[in-house]
Amino acid sequence: MAKLLFLTGKLAEHSLHQVLASILADSKQSPFEYEVKHIGVSVAALMTPSLIARRVPKVENIDKVILPGLCQGDLEPLVAQWGVPVERGPKDLKDLPQYFGQKGKAPDLTRHSVTIFAEIVDAPDLTVEQIVAKAVHFQQQGADVIDLGCLPGKSFAHMSAAIHALKAEGFQVSVDSMRDDDLLAAGKAGADYLLSLHEHNLWIADEVESIPILIPAKPTNVASLTRAIEHCLQRGRRFIADPILDPIHFGLTDSIVRYHKLRKRYPDIEMMMGVGNLTELTDADTTGVNALLFGVISELNINAVLATSVSPHASEAIAEADIARRVMYRASQDKRLPRGYSSGLLGLHDRKPFPYSAEEIMDWASQIKDPSFRIMVSEQGVHVYNRDGIQHGTDPFSFYAGLNLQNDASHAFYLGVELARAQIAWQLKKRYVQDEMLEWGVASIQQNRQAKIAHREASIKERLDNTRVAPDSGQAPDTE
């Protein structure tokens, strides 16, 4: 039986024992032995590998060491020092059951069945270098094919050069135009796909190797699309059919019915859906729009999407499409609802925003013996506390008078930032962790760790300048 060592801070030690006991009480949990050791800091998040190495010089009869998830730094020196594996656990100890697999193993989201075409809608207005740069950005967000959009009435003299440049960088390329001359030139330049051909210009497909994306000759004319499909089937020519998704109040429901009927008639052909008519043309957060659309796409076994990222509110639409196709594929394979697979499309809310109750936070606050402030969020609001007491509310401005920070600008600035985050988290029902940025799904950004602690040095210097006395290390405005 494996024996695990959990290193933690003083405040979390009791709660950690409780959570571990509840994990082992689960009959489905593989048994393990454990030891909990606090290393003399009050809050586990302040533990660093160098501090741990000094305070825990060796471990004996231990198979693995688990550190708090917020512990920063390289863990390899600890592995070398102790000779056993060292891992970070979850950021919050209340998430340890998931860490041990009690809520199910982390789902495999590496597979999907949808190809994402990312359209550069203003390609004629960009230089070749700018087109390649935007293609790289879209590829990083999850795009498989870069689509060059041609603008009506505008020349795209460098289209062939752009195709050659993209192909040289290893991209698959499609070209989207209403002009036959553009489509023919794109095919001859090596475009992999042509958007969009119909029954009246299908001759272009006979002139080039590009795969045609078929659309109705006139909007909503399914018979026209069917004739184009039959033409390609009779010739054994690969194609992708797109009945066209219309925006809300301009035929959305009817267009979804067209997709459904076409799939029923042709269960094995490749199909495309252009999702931009909803993500771009609806004032709603695109995470939810993409989740719903990709649910339809999964049910209808649609094989490709044309996605755009033009409107500022749709800036992450391609990355959202990438998450959505993976989640829906996995849920379909598992024959489950698309819940619990990823938080990538939960931009505004979290499913479990408040891990601690107000009563639990009050209990933590009663154990504090130092002046540094802690901030936590419960369903009842924001809690800020130190050895002098606890304040609770939903408006951070109400806390100011009781914080006594009039002579500590750096500390006040820090608490202002953290309390603002905490208020946003409470209002939107998001998970808040002190000193950590809020998570916004696919729109989350990497935190600058150095910037996060810079206020500490500034605060210490300020107090030194004001008092000429070495500050108490416990005064640092963080979660010590």
Which tokens belong to 73? 């730094």
Which tokens belong to 296? 């339809």
- The Cβ of residue 278 has, within 10 Å, a number of other Cβ atoms equal to 22
pLDDT at 451: 52
Please state, rounded to an integer, the average pLDDT across all residues of the chain: 89
Regarding pTM above 0.75, the answer is yes
Q: Can you tell me which residue has the tokens 């656990």?
A: 89
Mean pLDDT of 195-216: 96
**Which pLDDT tens digit goes with each residue over 236-265?**
999 999 999 999 999 999 999 999 999 999
**Which pLDDT tens digit goes with each residue over 329-344?**
999 999 999 988 899 9
Relative orientation angle of helices 180-189 and 159-168, to the nearest 10 degrees: 30
pLDDT at 259: 97
* Residue burial 25-38, b: 16+ Cβ < 10 Å; e: rest: eeeeeeeeebebeb
Q: What does R_g of the chain's alpha carbons equal in angstroms? A: 28
What is the Cα–Cα distance from 253 to 215, expressed in whole angstroms?
18
**Which pLDDT tens digit goes with each residue over 422-464?**
999 999 999 999 988 999 999 887 655 555 555 545 554 554 5
pLDDT at 461: 54
What is the Cα–Cα distance from 268 to 166, expressed in whole angstroms?
31
Asked whether 161 and 186 are in contact (CB, 8 A), the reply is: no
Quick one: pLDDT band at residue 72, thresholds 50, 70, 90? confident
Bridge pairing between strands 381-386 and 270-274: unpaired
